[in-house]
Structure formats: structure tokens, C-alpha cells
Structure 1
Amino acid sequence: MLIATKEIEVRYAETDQMGVVYHANYFVWMELGRTSIIQELGFSYAEMERDGIISPVLDIQASYKKPLRYGEKAIVKTWIEEYDGFRVTYKYEIFNDSGDLAVVGESKHVCVKKDSFRPISIRKKYPDWHEAYEKAKKQSVEAS
């Protein structure tokens, strides 16, 4: 199964008054994880956006297990959980540098035309991308 790993140094500005990472920053880190897995598959969000296609979030959630603090490293692991040719579900696990699980999350996305927000078929518009996602999804299912 393809799992992209992104290491992030926790910056002081990402913490709250309690000295732990502010919850919304985990969503930013999930975006970095999505970008990493897409790059590992050989593609680029930026190129897709130049084609007039964007990928808004349909749903996103996070379950917080252990706080991360300033000076620690966050290790974001991302994989493709589900894909049907239109929608993609990415799953995330974020660990501290000691290997403790800090956050579990997922986000669901669809690709749309930027000017109209009409959904597009990834299968038709980006057949290479579709094939890579199908393969990654199969690997994910086989590994379960």
C-alpha cells in the first residue's frame, strides 16, 4: 500500500495558549499529506488547477488522541482509502517524533470545474491519474 510520509516541524505559531498545536493546524498538515501522496503518484494539484480544475473538500474530520507541542516533529502519513472515479477519500495518521499517535483523520474530495463548480470525471479528464488512484486503492484494499 502506498503511504506518503511528510515530516513537519511544529512551530511556535501553530500552538495555542495551552502550548499544544491548535486543532485547525492538523487540517493544514492533512493538506500537505494529500499533496505528498499526489506527488508520489507523479501528479500535481498545481497542474490540475492550471487546467481549471479544483478539488474542494466535501467532508473532513479529525480525532485527537495526544497533543503535539512546539519543538516536536509531526509525521503525517497519508493514503487513499476510497476512490470511485469522481470522489476520493484520503486517510491520515499523524504521529509525534516518538511514534505516538496524535491524530487520526480523513477528508473527502471531488474534482470540479473552477468556473462552474460542476463535477468532472477524473477517469475521463485525467486517465493516468485515474489509473494511479485505482492501483493505489486496490493496494489499500488488498492490504486490509
Structure 2
Amino acid sequence: MTERETYRRKVHYYETDQMGIVHHSNYIRWFEEARIDLMDQMGLGYAEMEAEGILSPVLSVQADYLRMVYFGDVVTIDTFIKNYNGIKLQVGYEVVSEKTKMVHCRGTSKHCFISREGRPVSLKQACPKFHDMFTEGLEVYKSKENKNIKERK
């Protein structure tokens, strides 16, 4: 897998609330934008997956809001495959200020794979190229985590 670009986004005025900070619901939208970008960069996008008859609904989303983000700020969203077993997928996200390099939000989303008829799908059997892509993405994440653990020791 080639080195990926992080997803970059400038905060729009309509995404802020009366206090001038990004409304919490917008982080979830950003996660989805970044997840779609991740798949595109990995080589197989959502449109291609859906063309294969496979859908990937969100099962849950979790976000920890660490610092405020304001109108006009530019953030990058590091997106990675955190867990994958062939049937379910967990994607991780870190929203980072481009200016300060500080993490403002961390989160995850969990997904499954289903047919258009709503039946569970094993990607390994139904669409091996997507299975291989997510497996490789998970290996990249694990190798980075192992490297980070070694660096902290």
C-alpha cells in the first residue's frame, strides 16, 4: 500500500454553533467524508463496493471531543482501519489542527457488510479484493501501532 494523504478540511461557518465552535454532529460527517476518502486512496471506493452489490451500514459511531475547533480552522483527519474480521470493520479517526498539530477529536465507527437484500456478507467470500484491501489496511495500522509502542519504551 502506498503512503496516503490525510484528509484535509477547512471549517465552514454553517458547521459552527452559536458559540462559534464546530457543532459536535459535524465531526460524524467529517468521519464519513474521511472514511470514503480512505477507501478511494486504498484503491477501491464505496461506489465500486456498492456496484458489487455490497453495502456497509454504520453500526455505531463514537467520538471523544478533546478541544474546540472554530470557523476557518483547517483540520486534517487521520483515518485508519482499526479492526477487521471479514464481516465487520472498525475505522479509527483523529482530527488534528493543521496549525497546532494537536488532536481535537478521536473517534471510531463500526460497520458490517450486507447484500442489497439486507443479508450479512463475508467479504472474503463475496468480494475478495475488498477483503484483501481491508486486511492490508489493518496490517498497516498494526505495524504503526507496534512501532509507536516500541518508540515509547
Deviation at 1:128, TM superposition (A): 1.2
CA contact (8 A) 1:81 1:140 kept: yes
SS in 1 for 2:50: helix
Structure with higher helix content:
2
The C-alpha deviation readout for 1:109-128, integer Å capped at 9, x for no partner, is 011112x2111111112111
TM-score if structure 2 supplies the norm length?
0.87
Q: CA deviation at 1:36?
A: 1.3
On the 8 A contact 2:4/2:41 being kept in 1, the answer is no
Distance 2:106 2:127 in 1: 29
The answer to whether 1:139 aligns with 2:150 is no
Distance 2:54 2:129 in 1: 16
- Write out per-residue CA displacement over residues 58-82 of structure 1, whole angstroms, 9 at most, x where no aligned residue: 1110000011100111211100010
Indicate conservation of the 8 Å contact 1:54/1:113, yes or no: yes
CA RMSD, 1 decimal: 1.5
Structure 1 equivalent of residue 43 of structure 2: 42
CA distance in 2, matches of 1:42, 1:66: 33
Per-residue deviation at 1:143? 2.4
Q: TM-score, normalised by structure 1?
A: 0.92
Cα deviations across residues 19-63 of structure 1 (Å, max 9, x unaligned)?
000101001100111111111110010122233321111111000
Post-superposition offset of 1:3? 5.8
Uncovered stretches (5+) of structure 1, i.e. residues with no partner:
none
Corresponding residue number in structure 1 for 2:79: 78
Q: Give, as a single letter, the amino acid of the residue that structure 2 aligns with 1:63.
A: D
**Bigger relative contact order (CA 8 A; separation at least 6):** 1
Q: Equivalent residue of 2:77, what SS?
A: strand
Could you tell me which runs of 5 or more consecutive residues in structure 2 were left unpaired when the two chains were aligned.
146-153
Count of residues in Structure 1 that have an aligned counterpart in Structure 2: 143
Q: Is the 8 A contact 1:3 1:77 kept in 2?
A: no
Is the counterpart of residue 127 in structure 1 residue 128 in structure 2? Answer: yes
Deviation at 1:108, TM superposition (A): 0.5
Q: Which stretches of structure 1, 4 residues or more, deviate above 3 A after TM superposition?
A: 1-4
